[in-house]
Structure 1
Amino acid sequence: MLDAKLRPLIDPPLNRVGHALASAGITANMLTLGGLVLGLAGATAIALGHIGAGLALIIANRIADGLDGAVARVKGPTPLGGYFDIVADFAFYVSIPLGFGVFAAGNTLPALVLVASFVLTGVSFLAFAVIAASRGEETDAHGKKSFFYSTGLAEGTETIAVFIAMCLFPAWFPVLAYGYAALCVLTVIQRSALAVIQFKD
């Protein structure tokens, strides 16, 4: 919901750094892999009870994720880069709830519910992208991407905001997890309604 609105604010500084990294020979795929390592390390830190370190690594992951896109815009996005980027994103997204699920026994069920809701949103997102691409449809609402990005109530910005809240208030993880899972389900419903309108023959 907020991703497209934040693009005009975050893209200019990211693009400047992206140009410098690209000039230094850093590739988008290097940043994608590095960001994934940082994100999984953050989930591991949370599982081990180092919540502050986990928060720092989550933020580092998001910076790397923004920079890989900036570098890709310099050299031109590739299908392989787009594939690695979305796989790394979803691997990171599911790892954080799993980290909290391991951290405290009372977090297990809400963590599973949240991961399940991420699977649903991921499937709806990718299915929408595949069908939109097959119809030749395009959008630049989220910047230049390797494939069609449909909007929704629960997007990357909202997810990271919830992850940060979980790290700042770990005792509230179950409430935050159930609440965000409900928003993810609403996103699937919203995207499905959009599909009915947009893909209707």
Structure 2
Amino acid sequence: MLEQTLRHHYQKRLVDPLVRVLDRRITPQAITWLSGFFGLAFIPALCGGYDKLAIFLLLISGYCDTLDGSLARHQNQASPLGSVLDIMMDRLVEFAVVFALYWINPERAFAIILMLGSMLLCITSFLVVGIFSQNESHKSFHYSPGLMERAEAFCFFIAMVLLPQWFNGLAAVFTTLVCLTAVIRLVQFARHEALFRSQTNPLP
């Protein structure tokens, strides 16, 4: 949701200017690796009690995640390998965050398991729908927007760091919204398929 609402302004003010500066100075894949590095650095930062540093590293990781694709398209270097690496790094960062949130308080184990389960279902729905859908986005693969995307997830992660006393409630809402995102995506895909079949195989 935030992606659809704010991305244009975010892209224009914070991403495109740096893309022009970095053109030919660094490869998109290098930025993707940096995204993973900063995301992994979230673990020692949070576990060491440096909450603000952990949040900063998470935001830098997320910024790199938006920068790499923009740079790849600017350099005409968008590729399936880049998309695969980008998706893998996204999942690595998300796991790092959830792992760190568990590590600082193992009593959160049940809520963490539910969060991971919802994330697994959601990314599966995203990838499977992408396989069977025609790509109509600017990305090198079909991108199906959802109720909970990366921006919303990061907002929840930051809230969990800043408001640990509300962790269980935030985790419950997070899990519910992520599962709902997966369900909505599947329902939309089913409706699209039904419409496509009715158009290609009209009743006599």
Letter in 2 for 1:194: Q
Q: 1:90-169 maps to which residues of 2 (within 5 A)?
A: 90-132=91-133, 137-140=134-137, 144-169=138-163
Distance, in Å, in 2 between the alignment partners of 1:173 and 1:43 is 17
| CA positional deviation for 1:174 | 1.8
Distance, in Å, in 1 between the alignment partners of 2:164 and 2:140 is 35
Distance, in Å, in 1 between the alignment partners of 2:155 and 2:12 is 21
Higher CA-based Rg? 2
Letter in 2 for 1:46: L
Q: 1:94 to 1:124 in 2, by over 3 A?
A: same
| CA positional deviation for 1:87 | 0.8
Letter in 2 for 1:57: L
Gaps of at least 5 residues in structure 2 are 198-204
| CA positional deviation for 1:94 | 2.1
SS in 1 for 2:82: helix
| CA positional deviation for 1:78 | 1.0
Distance, in Å, in 1 between the alignment partners of 2:157 and 2:144 is 22
Name which of structure 1's ranges 44-53 and 166-175 shifts more when overlaid on structure 2: 44-53
Distance, in Å, in 2 between the alignment partners of 1:151 and 1:66 is 15
CA RMSD of aligned residues (A): 1.3
Correspondence for 1:176: 170
| CA positional deviation for 1:84 | 0.5
* Preserved contact between residue 47 and residue 101 of structure 1 (Cα < 8 Å): no
Correspondence for 1:6: 6
- Residue identity over aligned pairs, in percent, reads 28
Runs of 4+ in 1 over 3 A off after TM superposition: none
Letter in 1 for 2:18: V
Q: 1:4-153 maps to which residues of 2 (within 5 A)?
A: 4-13=4-13, 14-24=15-25, 26-76=26-76, 77-132=78-133, 137-140=134-137, 144-153=138-147
| CA positional deviation for 1:189 | 1.0
Name which of structure 1's ranges 53-62 and 120-129 shifts more when overlaid on structure 2: 53-62
Correspondence for 1:187: 181
Gaps of at least 5 residues in structure 1 are none
Please give the TM-score of this superposition, normalised by the length of structure 1: 0.91
Distance, in Å, in 2 between the alignment partners of 1:113 and 1:44 is 23
Correspondence for 2:191: 197
* Preserved contact between residue 152 and residue 187 of structure 1 (Cα < 8 Å): yes
